[in-house]
Structure 1
């Protein structure tokens, strides 16, 4: 039996980061049935392989921005007689939609059901739906490194699941639950040691939590022995807690170079509307400065164009980047399926836009400010993003990274910005070409009637 595990292409091009689901699901498969032949494919790196791909079963993991190309791959494989199982965040939110493109779908977490999926496939009795439980994370296998090729130089490691914050734009709380389930520290150290190369990414929603800071310090202390450098994703509130300085010192000594922080919104009103104010804390700017004072580079990601945002927020984002000396990565607000934000925005959604528009680069709903038309929001998004990613800014930020992190922190700084800049420029040119084509199409009837 041959299994192909597939990650559909990202909307803005290829990055050197290996999709973690590929090597991890391969490890779950090897544990369940060592006789299965496994191949891994990241479609962003190998887009042309699927026309000739041969396997008995294909497992495809979908996020909302990759749902349309993922469905396309699934449909093509099924047309050639290959069985397809779909899973991932998008499938967990919309299992019935996904089932139209698959022989079976996995809702929720895979660990508790994946061995059964494989047994049922061998028996010719795949069920239409499998619903995974939220199990404790004390027996997860090390990802199966070595199968994924094509220049994926950076790996993502997860040490916990779940999120207690009820942010309206996010589905993590709903899919993985509000309880934080943490992996045994010895298992995390084992998996870090197995990662090829000297750098990796901690892919947890949050590398530190209020109320769990002692555990973060214990983990960071244990990771000092690996000598590997890493980046992670963290909230701002714990940084200013009484234990914050001790936590940041431990993270830095453990090899942490960069933290991606959810700034979430430019305005306090939008933060409250998103229910993200508790996560970011009471003084975002002081928290960012504290991170930098500890020698940790900071990148902020945030949303623009929500119904609570103003047109001034686009310029405000550039002002924040200049004032704090950080790299910033915006997206337009996206009401993902399964999120509270989608329920709130349901009366205002543009219903004719498919999932291929849910990339963070399109206006997806009506805005109460008449100046915030879809074209205006999208144009301002691209202009703001490209200004934040302007070559001079990228290099200046890289040179401002503390020398204590050289060269790894400087490589990370460029890796976090240059591929995004390239993808953003390509997307902007496509966006402008699409707008020109739409205007020309609208003009044709008027020209014809004038003749």
Structure 2
């Protein structure tokens, strides 16, 4: 038996290379490779960095689908199915929209694959593959097999999973919908072994809220410390209240932590069901505690809630510049399917596209709904302008010198490379066509 794994691209402008910072290792594929028996031949086509060979000799195609890549995934699947090759689809989007995905493949995998992958392969081997496989969302006690990445040119950062899910219920988030607001910590033994296997000196700890359980996180950081790795991850500003946690993070090698501020407006935070941000005290003091601990902050903001206008975007930009964040993202709100946000906007008749991820003419960087206090086009431009300003040479220089006082000298080069690349990519990312057929375009 031979399985062909495919990672679809979001889209690409004609004649342009794919966005550099979007070329991370597809960790999901490495997990599936590890679950696959050794006597099964495997291959990987990553649509982001290479052409897909639609004439490859294979028995089964497996496509991992995100909402941004759904349209492209369905087009890829169609080409293989026209040859009579069955297609299995899984991923967050398939779990959120299983009926939609089922129209474009032979079998859908809902939830995590670890508990059902082997069963699916056995069924396929008998010629009796089922249309639906329901996986458990919590079990993932295996190590990824990254040998399938051999020869692929990804960013020089190792992805190491530490947990899945999140305890919060933000109304825009598809992750909390997928895991029903539960957090599932991974075994420390597996994490440490995974880090030891990593071929890069820098790791990104894949976890939507690495500090969801402070005690678990501290124990993990204490175990990571002897490895002398440098790493980044995702957390929440609430961690700044725990001095022991911050010290353990820094000592273990943490250089940058991504924090979702989302909004500085209290009413917006309440609307997005992130009012726990309001209970954390004064933001400036908490940010100072994180910086004083020697940790850089990758700050993220999202705009499009009912109290957003031109001023709220400007305030977020000024807040980010004042604190000289390591880097920052100024994003417009995106209604992911089957989230409370999506349902509310549809009920209010504010969606520009009912299914933006499948709509002809929808491009990356555009809003898929009408905000209340500002036009969709204006908000898209404001987000773009905030990114450009924060990535300007003057601002990067100011933030760079502040970063030098917090991060390891080994990471100084990374700061300049990362921020200069993000600045270059601001306009590259605007109006990327979602799901367009890219097969003949140069990579």
What is the TM-score of this pair, normalised by structure 2? 0.88
1:167-316 matches, cutoff 5 A: 167-209=170-212, 212-240=213-241, 244-279=242-277, 281-316=280-315
1:362-419 Cα shifts (integer Å, max 9, x gaps): 22212222xx112211222211222122234334423322356334433443454344
Match of 1:381 in 2: 383
CA distance in 1 between counterparts of 2:413 and 2:109 reads 37
Match of 1:42 in 2: 46
Q: Is the 8 A contact 1:332 1:360 kept in 2?
A: no
Match of 2:117 among 114, 119, 132: 114
CA distance in 1 between counterparts of 2:31 and 2:417 reads 23
Q: Is the 8 A contact 1:56 1:82 kept in 2?
A: yes
Look up the SS of the partner of 1:156 in the other structure: strand
Do structure 1's residue 72 and structure 2's residue 79 form an aligned pair?
no
Cα 1:83–1:408 change in 2 (3 A) is farther
Offset, 1:352: 5.7
Match of 1:8 in 2: 8
Cα 1:200–1:270 change in 2 (3 A) is same
Match of 2:102 among 99, 102, 124: 99
1:74-153 matches, cutoff 5 A: 74-137=77-140, 140-148=141-149, 149-152=151-154, 153=156
Cα 1:295–1:365 change in 2 (3 A) is same
Q: Is the 8 A contact 1:163 1:180 kept in 2?
A: yes
CA distance in 1 between counterparts of 2:382 and 2:196 reads 44
CA distance in 2 between counterparts of 1:292 and 1:425 reads 30
1:158-178 Cα shifts (integer Å, max 9, x gaps): 111221101001022221233
Structure 2 residue runs without a partner (length 5+): 12-17, 434-443
Match of 1:21 in 2: 28
Look up the SS of the partner of 2:146 in the other structure: coil
CA distance in 2 between counterparts of 1:302 and 1:125 reads 47
Q: Is the 8 A contact 1:63 1:89 kept in 2?
A: yes
Q: Is the 8 A contact 2:239 2:246 kept in 1?
A: no
Q: Is the 8 A contact 2:364 2:430 kept in 1?
A: no
Q: Is the 8 A contact 1:23 1:40 kept in 2?
A: no
1:154-165 matches, cutoff 5 A: 154-165=157-168
CA distance in 2 between counterparts of 1:336 and 1:58 reads 26
Match of 2:371 in 1: 367
Which structure: greater helix fraction?
A: 1
Greater RCO (Cα-Cα under 8 Å, separation 6 or more): 2
Q: Is the 8 A contact 2:165 2:207 kept in 1?
A: no
Structure 1 stretches of 4+ with a deviation exceeding 4 A read: 356-360
CA distance in 1 between counterparts of 2:80 and 2:283 reads 48
CA distance in 2 between counterparts of 1:159 and 1:310 reads 37
Q: Is the 8 A contact 2:365 2:432 kept in 1?
A: no
The alignment covers a number of residue pairs equal to 418
Structure 1 residue runs without a partner (length 5+): 432-451
Look up the SS of the partner of 2:369 in the other structure: coil
CA distance in 1 between counterparts of 2:58 and 2:402 reads 49
Do structure 1's residue 339 and structure 2's residue 339 form an aligned pair?
yes
Look up the SS of the partner of 2:261 in the other structure: strand
Offset, 1:282: 2.8
Match of 1:328 in 2: 328
